[in-house]
Structures are given as structure tokens and as C-alpha cells.
Structure 1
């Protein structure tokens, strides 16, 4: 636990605490009275209310759209199922900046809907909600569908034989078994939408602001650190509560069910109802998932002779100090280094958490590992600049500061991927190796590692994908001469002109392709046949 604890203490807790304390302490005095002033501000109240209700609305809409697809992937077998599973997961590993850009190309000014029917949804709440459904669709499909595929269908069939209708059998038998998975997926969707930043910033315009966007505005534009500190504490408290509820839900899910092999529960569609459901899910995926991505690619090719892509190789001396194409190499380098950090820290944490003699303190650290997913990335990024400014941790001028911040987001994915597999290793195998004289290191190398090698590769892939798309913290610490892909996309979108817009579409397409390739590799390396996260 030493390495994970030190890593999180230095690169997470210290920067966050430093920026919060800087906000509450100014002119040699503490200003805790600022809390009442900020929370009593009607504008802040509007931000808090919008953050809450849009997260609730996004969660409800995502469940409504994705639950039928969860059933289709769990219970129906059809050609191209594995490829379609990978397609619906692509949005989840895409950076939020790319998601916002894709929907901007679909519903924004000059977008597909604007060209065809004169309809624009950008700067409206509907664009934000649809983008959130697009981003979180896979969370519900794979989390709920993964469990649904392993539920024994004979229980529901027995209820039908005893006279229950199809709906009654589903409501009385299947739904209670699925409830923990649905709750866990709902809480994760709520967490991601509650802390939404890139999507709201690009699609919402000045009229809509979540807590994360407001923290960025107060920090980077107004430089009101006191208000930003109060909002950070509020968001931290809310996220801690969400993660506490999520942890309890996951524990219920792990201990309350008896599962069967998922490969025997899926059957070819039978009857008009199942075929209609399959067709409806395919149409939803085509419109909700494929169409925005296709429009993004089409907009990047809108100019003759690949003009937007060729423009990426030129330095205009305005937005960047280097040609935008350099952002590709920067992002790949940063993501690789961040993946190494994330796998090292997350792997050690997962190994420690699997020990049966781990104390309550160690088990509690499991929940803390999830905090980087919910704590304001803006706060973390600005905290890096404020806190890591003195030797021996003066990293502001070093390129390593970017992958360190990105690794914080990758560690939770590594832990969540490796922990179930490590817990599944028979303890008697380790004990037998130890009795035969193997050292603890050799036991790990010859017993644990062969069993978790594939999970380790999957964890590395997820860490690489999320590091590649990290935006909230990187936007503060990436230097103008070394921008990352998400930062480059956001800066191009902030400048007027068709050429800047086209270059943003081109860079987003490149980033989408890299993430999609990473995901397809992950799909081949899945450690189970259910496709569950």
C-alpha cells in the first residue's frame, strides 16, 4: 500500500487541499464566512439546481433508452453481436470534448439538422441531455446486461408455469435480481453527468453551467479562488455521498445472486416481439451512437483535398506555438506514460486490497481510489500549478506533470478491472507454492501473474483510453508548445472561422479512431464472456 498511498497523497490530496485552503485563506485571514455568501448567491443556487436536475434527467433518460438494449445483449443471440457491443462502448471511452464536438456537428450551427430542417439544439438543454445519453449508454448496457446474461432464466420460466404473466414474472423475479446492477449503473451515470464538464462547456453555451464548469469559470476566467473553493467542497461532499451509496450497492450485488454461465442464456430471437425489440435497439444505436460519429467524420472531410487535415500540419502562430498535428504525438506519449503510472499504482493497490488479512483502513482506501473520477478535475489541474511549485516537487515546467494528472483518472479503472480477478485466485494455490519454498515475489510471478495477465492488459487499455481523453486537469497544465488532443480540440472550437472548426473536427476524428482501436483491442482481451465492466 505504500506506493499507492504516497502517490495519492502527493498528487491528489495535496494539490486539492492546497487549492481549497488557498481559496479560504487570503490576506493572512481565514474567510470561512465565504461559504454562506457563496451558497446564498442566487446565481450559484441556479448552478447547483441545474447540476442536480440535469444529472437526474440524464440518468432517467439513459435508463429508459439503454435498458432494452441491455436485455437484447443479455438474452438474444444474433450475427454481429460482439462488433455491436464494441460500437456501443466507443462513446464511453471517447473524451467528453469529442462527444461535445460530435453533437455540435449534428445539432449545432451548420450541423446536419440545421442543414436539413433548420433545427439547432446547441445552447439548449436537450443537446446536453442527448450527449449524456450517448456517452453513458454503454454503462447501462454493459453493467446491467452483463449481470442479466448470467441470471438463470429458469427462475422466470418457473414463475410463468405457475401462472404469472410475462410482465409479472419479470417484475417479481428478474427485476429484484437486477435491481442492484440497475442501481449501480444509475449511480455511475449520475456521477459522470453530475461532474460533466466538456459536454456542457461546448454544447451548453453561457446559459448552462454545472458545478464543474462554474469551478473552471471562477478559477480560470474570474480568478475568484474563494468561490471556486466553496464549490469544490460542495462537489466533493456530493461525490463522496454518491460513492458511499455506490459501494454499498456493489456489495449487495456481489453477495446476493447465484449466477450461471452467460453463454447458455442467449438465444436467437423468437416471435414478432423479440424481433421488433432487436430492430428497435439497432435503430437506436444507429441514430444515437453511429450517426453523431459519422457526422463528425463527414464534417472533417467537408473541404476538398483533405484541407482540414492538411491544415493541421501548419503553424498559424495563433492558437498554438506548434502545428496542431503535434498534439497527436504528445497525447500518445503522455497516455503511455500515464498508463505505466496507473498500472503500477493501481496494480499494487488491487494486490493489497485482495489480502484477506487487510484491515479496515486498507478496505476503506478502496473507496478513496474512486474519488479522482468525481472530484473536480479543474481543481486537481489548478492545484498542480499551485502546489507543485517548489523543489523537490517543482513540476510546473516539466512534461511529466501531464501524465501524472492523467494517471489519477486511470488508476480507478485499473483497480476495478484487476480486483475481481485477483479475488478469484484460489488462495490455496498461493499457499501451496509458499509451502514448496517459493518466495512471496515468486508466488506472485508464477501463480497470480499468469491468471491476471489478461486482466492487466485490459486495465492498461482502459487506462490508456481515459488518459488519452482527459481534459479537465490537462487544460490547465498542458503547455502551449505541447498541447494534447482534447486541449487542441477545445482551443480550436473557441476560435471563430470555418478552418478552425474543420480542424477541430479533424482532430476529434483522429482521437475517436485511436480510442476506437483501443476499445476493439480491449474487446478481444475481455476476461469474461458477458462483456461486463
Structure 2
């Protein structure tokens, strides 16, 4: 009888059958038009006779593939090694300043890659520029947060009793680590390694600024072929090849993680460092981690105020100028790029929030059947921005949909990348709504639409505000897709920064550091606010790494 009453109440609260398809129409249509169609167009280019063999036989491609793989492997190993100690300290100990250290370690991961590249251009000596070690160093800096979060979340629930029992039985610190701790941490280590490898394998902005012409990854080679050589078919083949490699890595990693899954009964609990050795470890790791993560960014900011070996505001004062000196053009308007980025970010945020909210409401209302839309909207996160930009460029270059020169393609591409974050912010909120609230609305006489508006829509209003800022931050820093879609006079901040840093002369480089500083401050502030208003501590990073 009780079950029948519950079913009757659920029926009273259920929206009409056409409501969920209506809510999902715009998100699904946008995904089909601006993601599935461009990716499908790339595939058709690859299927042309001889296209694959011609590209794979191209001189120099083997070197690009080899560099892409080995730098990703080395970057992954070094990131695991460097991030091991901070992951342990932040996962196991409570200490003064812990939140500040956690922010110092994790915020760089959410910064635009062009900002990280600019920071290492400012930090590293000139003889490091254009080298593989510069690329690897920047990748380690950028991805330490992945190890701290993913490995740390596993380390936090390792029961203290297991390690205490091993020490009681006479295990040395090395044997304790090798035979007890590492086997328990294996799933976290593997998850961290997979995410870091994927990010470094598909690295674009950092490699473009630091690697030079001799050290190009697949992403950089794809952009070079499409934008400089005009070899669109070759770029399409490489994009699909990269997608296949990434898919194989994710599939193999998922199978391995399922086989090595470990059930840990421990609960997350932070403790104070008691012994002198523990206090020394915590203090040393916290200090070193903060200094290492802050130094590149601090140096970049300081370099924007130095010209000719002296402190100067000249680079900031001349951001509105388009010439280095009379008759010598910068090739970009630095100040105009700021306003272009702000305009695109506002539109991208609006698009992603509207589409993301509709999608989240459709997923929440459909319950079990909304998973297809949920998974579909996550696909752009698993595809590199360079591939998305190339696909859009190819797909919309002929009548009847010749949109290549349309300015709005850039914010649409940004919204495609930002929408999954909006969905991830809202869906858990909707799924956490107790069924009793909807039942109470029905008992009080509310129609299904009114109950849906009062319970579901109003519940997501607060996180929606924070999602606007997060989408804007993603748009401000987007570099990969924008490289293909930008046109002269519509350069965004990342495009302007990259061009200024690659020009000769101190003034353009200092201006590039100044623009990167502006982008750094704006992005960091938005991320911190979004963490508190929308996701909670660390979840922005977790959503990106997912």
C-alpha cells in the first residue's frame, strides 16, 4: 500500500512526457552541430584514399611522435615523484596555513596554459628556452595538483592502524613504504599517472611557448599544418590519430584500475604533527611546495615591471600602443585583446550557463535516461581543444554553412568547453534534492510545473551564479581552439600573449608578461570564488581531471 502511495505521488510530480526532450533539445542540438558534426567531418577527411599513408610518411613526423610520447612519460614520472611528499603531508596532517599551501599547489592547474608558459619564459634562463627540459619542467609544475588531489584522496583513507601494525612488527620506513603503503596507493598512483599523461601528451600552449620549432608535440604539429602549411587533411589525420591513442590509453587505464581496486575501511581524518620529525617534515614540505609553486608566477609578474635592467611601468603604460617604435608594428593590439577576451568571455559564459542549466534540468528530470546526455556533454572535455578548433574550422568552411569568418564561432567554441563544468556543478545539486520535497509540493496542490520551478530551478540558482564565473575563466584562458578560429583584429588575451612573447625586444616581452599577469589575477580570483560558491574545496580540479 505504501509503495502504491509513493508511486501515485511520483506520478503527480512528474513533468509531461514532452518536457524532458524540450529541455534537452538545445543542449543536444548544440552538441550535435558544434561537436559531433565537426568531429565527424574530421573522420571523413581521414577516410579519403591515401590520406593516412601520405601523412604518416611525411618527413619529421616520427620525431614529433617520439617527442610527444617520451616527454609525456618523463613528465608523468617526475610529477609523481615531486608530488608524492606534498600529497602525503596535505592528506594526512592538519597545520596552520594548510589551506594556503593547498591553494598554492592546486591553483596553477586551473590557470591557462599560456600563463604557465609565460611564467617559465620569465623564470628560466635563455639557454633553456626552446628545450625539452623547459617543457618538462613546466609540465611538472602544472600537473603537481593532480597528484596532490588524486593520490592524496587515496592516502587520506589509508587506515593508520595498518601502518602502525607494520611498524610494531619491525618494518623499516623503506619496507613500510614499499610493501604496505604503495600497494594500497596503487589505484591513486595509476589514476594520477593517467591524468598527467593525458594532459602532457595533449599539451599545446606550454609546448608552443617553451619548446621552440625543434620540440613540437602532436598538438603543435596539428596547428602548424593547419594554420601555417595549409595541410588541413594532414592535420585532420593527426587529430584522429591522437584521439585513437587517447581512447586506447583511457580504456586500458580503466581496465587496469578495475583490476587493482582496493577497498579501504579508513575514514578521512587529519591529525596534528606530534613528533619533532613529523613537524620538520610538514614544515619543510609546506615551505618548499609553496616557494616552488609561487616562484614562477612571482617572477613573471616582476618581469612585467622591468625594462633595461631597471624597474619601470613602461610596459603597462604602452599596452594601448600597437607599435614598438614609429614604423615598427607589434602585430597585435594588447589592450584591444583584453576587451575582445572580456566580450567573448561574457558571451561564452551566457551560452554555457543557459545550455548547461537546461541540460542539468533535463538530466535531473529524466533520472536514469538522462545519462546519455550527461555522457555526451562530457565528450568535449575528453577531446583536445586543438581538435575541436580544427574540426569547427573544417566543418564550417563551405556553403551553406560557411561560418569561418564569423566572430561568434570563438565564444561558441569556448562555451563547448565550459558547458561540462556547468553541468557538473548543477547535476549533483539536483540529484541531492529529497523526493519528499517534491511530494510535499504535490500534496499542497502545486502543479508539476510549479513544483519543478519551486524545488528544482530555485535550488540551482546559487551554484548557477558561481558557474557563470567559472565559464568566464575558462573562456578567458582558452588557447587551443582559438588558435584556429581567431582572425586579425579579434585576437584574445592568450593569442596576444603568445605573439608578444615570441617577438624580439624587451618591450613586447614585458607587455606579454603584463597581459599574462592580468589573466593570472582574473582567473585565480574567479576560480577561488567558484570553489567556494559552486563546487566546494578542490572539486573544480576534480571535475577537470575527471
- Tell me the TM-score normalised to structure 1 length: 0.85
Residue-pair matches, total: 511
Counterparts of 1:251 and 1:445, CA distance in 2: 40
Match of 1:490 among 491, 495, 498: 498
Q: Is the 1:388–1:394 Cα contact (8 Å) retained in structure 2?
A: yes
**Could you say which residue in structure 1 is the equivalent of 2:282?**
278
Question: After the TM superposition, which of the residue ranges 441-450 and 490-499 deviates more from structure 2?
Answer: 441-450
Distance 2:196 2:35 in 1: 23
Match of 1:4 in 2: 27
Cα distance change, pair 476–529 in 1 and its aligned pair in 2 (3 A): closer
Counterpart-to-counterpart distance in 2, 1:458 and 1:161: 49
Out of 148-157 and 224-233, give the one that drifted further: 148-157
- Distance in 1, matches of 2:165 and 2:451, equals 46
Paired residue for 1:326?
A: 336
Spell out, residue by residue over 1:239-292, the C-alpha distance to the aligned partner (whole angstroms, 9 max, x if none): 2234445666898999956564x4xx1122222332333234234324431111
1:309 aligns with 2:316: yes
SS at match of 1:206: coil
Mapped to 1, the partners of 2:237 and 2:180 lie a distance apart of 46
Measure the CA separation in 1 of the matches of 2:428 and 2:253: 16
- Indicate whether 1:142 and 2:159 are aligned: no
The alpha-carbon distance between structure 1 residues 254 and 427, as it changes in their structure 2 partners (threshold 3 A), is farther
User: Per the alignment, do residues 31 and 520 of structure 1 end up closer, same or farther by CA in structure 2, a change over 3 Å counting?
Assistant: closer
Q: SS of the residue aligned with 1:480?
A: coil
CA distance in 2, matches of 1:402, 1:65: 37
Equivalences for 1:2-401 in 2 at 5 Å?
Answer: 2-21=25-44, 23-24=45-46, 31-41=48-58, 43-109=60-126, 120-149=127-156, 153-154=160-161, 156-157=163-164, 175=182, 178-244=185-251, 260=267, 262=268, 265-303=269-307, 304-316=311-323, 318-320=329-331, 323-353=333-363, 357-359=367-369, 363-389=371-397, 393-401=401-409
Q: Deviations over 1:342-395 (max 9, x none)?
A: 233334444444567524xx5355444343234342342243333335677554
Distance in 1, Cα, partners of 2:465 & 2:185: 29
2:525 pairs with 510, 514, 517, which one? 517
Cα distance in 2 for partners of 1:193, 1:5 equals 30
Equivalent position of 2:474 in the other structure: 466
Hey, what's the Cα distance between the residues in 2 that align with 1:517 and 1:162?
Answer: 49
Higher Cα Rg: structure 1 or 2? 2
* Structure 2 Cα separation of the partners of residues 147 and 44 of structure 1: 39
Give the structure 1 partner of residue 12 of structure 2: none
2:419 is aligned to 411
- Separation in 1, partners of 2:397, 2:149: 42
User: 1:20-44, CA deviations, whole angstroms, 9 ceiling, x for partnerless residues?
Assistant: 53x44xxxxx733231232344522
| Cα distance in 1, alignment partners of residues 441 and 250 from structure 2 | 37
Q: Tell me the equivalent position of 1:112.
A: none
- In structure 2, the partner of 1:479 is 487
| RMSD of equivalent CA atoms | 3.3
Instruction: Decide whether aligned partners of structure 1 residues 448 and 413 sit closer, same or farther in structure 2, where only a CA change above 3 A counts.
Output: same
Equivalent position of 2:13 in the other structure: none
Unpaired runs of 5+ residues, structure 1, are 25-29, 110-119
SS of 2:329's equivalent in the other structure is coil
What are the Cα deviations for residues 152-180 of structure 1, in whole angstroms up to 9, with x where unaligned? Answer: 54555566567766666666665555443
CA distance in 1, matches of 2:520, 2:129: 21
* Runs of at least 5 residues in structure 2 that lack an aligned partner in the other structure: 1-23
Q: Deviations over 1:124-155 (max 9, x none)?
A: 21111110011111122123324544555455
Q: Distance in 1 between matches of 2:436 and 2:252?
A: 33
